[in-house]
Amino acid sequence: MAEAKQLSGAGLRGQVAGETALCTVGKSGAGLTYRGYDIADLAEKAQFEEIAYLLLRGKLPNQQELDAYKQKLQSLRGLPAALKTVLEQIPKDAHPMDVMRTGCSMLGNLETEQDFSEQDDKIDRMLAVFPSIITYWYRFAHEGVRIETDSDVDSIGGHFLELLHGKKPSELHEKVMNVSLILYAEHEFNASTFTARVCASTLSDIHSCVTGAIGSLRGPLHGGANEAAMELIQKFQTPDDAESGLMGMLERKEKIMGFGHAIYKESDPRNAIIKQWSKKLAEEVGDTVLYPVSERCEAVMWREKKLFCNADFFHASAYHFMGIPTELFTPIFVMSRVSGWTAHVKEQRENNRIIRPSADYTGPADAKWVPIEERK
């Protein structure tokens, strides 16, 4: 069993900032569980909607509960006219994560959470409508079409692909999206989830918590790394090319996106799972470049730095093989992680105290007031 990473230093590393019953990360060095269930089992056997239910309602649904839940989510995919109007104003060159942030915030204006008793309905609405928000904007901005956001596909992942491509996804693509959404659903006190919990601790509304979390996820050190990883691997024509490119980057002490982790020491358990699906997709599309390049990056980073691929690295090639534009990679993370964020918001609200840590002061002491006309 892998050793746990020694956690200390800046960035609150290793400090316990609260309790959760939702998830364990790296408990035995490499493990990941959602409410006690191992991620490998969940990724193999579950539907994403079952995982959302597990996180949000506290138990796995039975068949009847799952059917009703999926039906409810399917009925909530429509966009209000005022939200469509706002999305149509956002320029084509906007980053889709900014579109998600605005879309979520606008939804909070139109369907405001008036009372915490409404939280489950507001959360279900976000889960259902986020794929509609991003694909509506994307296709309007890039193709000039106003799409219908309803579809017969009953899974969130399949629905997203259908809206994006305007046709039913293949079984394989729907399956990979399902696995991907499960892998990204929840990860304890990561930066974006902690953002959501801090916001929740002020007793703010659920859309504010999620809007803030989207902003935190956007950065390349967190969710934005899947896009950055794609930009990296696309630069290389062959594995040898990748090897010399990476060696140069390491020499220049550049960060290699999609590698390393704040908590895991030797591996991220999500990587082996998405890597295997990326390989299947590479075979399907007859890829002879991106997958071998990605594998070489993995080998070089481990050999040179003992750094391993995190969840983001092989997601890049997997999404690319399914024809998903690179700038939509992190919004997919949002479509999934909204389940984890909101489960944390619910947990925070159940046992709340405002989150307010202290700081060590490093500024000047006893500064004397200088009238403005005497200042240099």
Ligand X SMILES: CC(=O)SCCNC(=O)CCNC(=O)[C@H](O)C(C)(C)COP(=O)(O)OP(=O)(O)OC[C@H]1O[C@@H](n2cnc3c(N)ncnc32)[C@H](O)[C@@H]1OP(=O)(O)O
Ligand Y SMILES: O=C([O-])CC(=O)C(=O)O
Site of interaction with ligand Y (CB under 6 A): 25, 187, 190, 262-263, 310-311
221 binds ligand X (CB under 6 A): yes
Kindly write out the interface string for residues 48-87 of this chain, putting x where it contacts ligand X by CB under 6 A and - elsewhere: ----------------------------------------
Residues 258-291, buried b or exposed e (16+ Cβ, 10 A)? bbbbbbbbebbbbbebbbebbbebbeeeebebbb
Of residues 96, 103, 158, 258, which one binds ligand X by CB under 6 A? 258
Structure tokens at 18: 């609260």
Question: Looking at beta carbons only, is 102 or 330 nearer to ligand Y?
Answer: 330
CB of 260 to ligand X, least distance (A): 2
The verdict on whether 173 is a catalytic residue reads no
How far is residue 310 CA from its own chain's centroid? 13
Structure tokens at 182: 């499960």
Token match 């050190």: residue?
A: 221
The verdict on whether 312 is a catalytic residue reads yes
CB of 225 to ligand X, least distance (A): 3
Question: Looking at beta carbons only, is 22 or 163 nearer to ligand Y?
Answer: 22
Give the β-pairing of 37-38 and 32-34. Answer: antiparallel
Catalytic residue among 187, 312, 320, 344: 312
Residue of 208, 309, 333 whose CA lies nearest to 256: 309
CB of 323 to ligand X, least distance (A): 22
Query: Are 163 and 301 in contact, with CB atoms under 8 Å apart?
Result: no
Find the binding residues for ligand X in span 296-355 (CB under 6 A).
307, 310-312
Catalytic residue among 173, 207, 261, 320: 261
What is the CB-side half-sphere exposure of residue 167 using CA atoms within 13 A?
5
CB of 26 to ligand Y, least distance (A): 9
Q: Which position's Cβ is nearest ligand X?
A: 260
Q: CA 125 to CA 250: how far, in whole Å?
A: 44
Of residues 4, 222, 239, 272, which one binds ligand X by CB under 6 A? 222
CB of 224 to ligand X, least distance (A): 8
Residues 307-346, buried b or exposed e (16+ Cβ, 10 A)? bbbbbbbbbbbbbbbbebebbbbbbbbbbbbbbbbbbbbb
Which residues sit at the interface with ligand X, rule CB under 6 A? 221-223, 225, 255-262, 307, 310-312
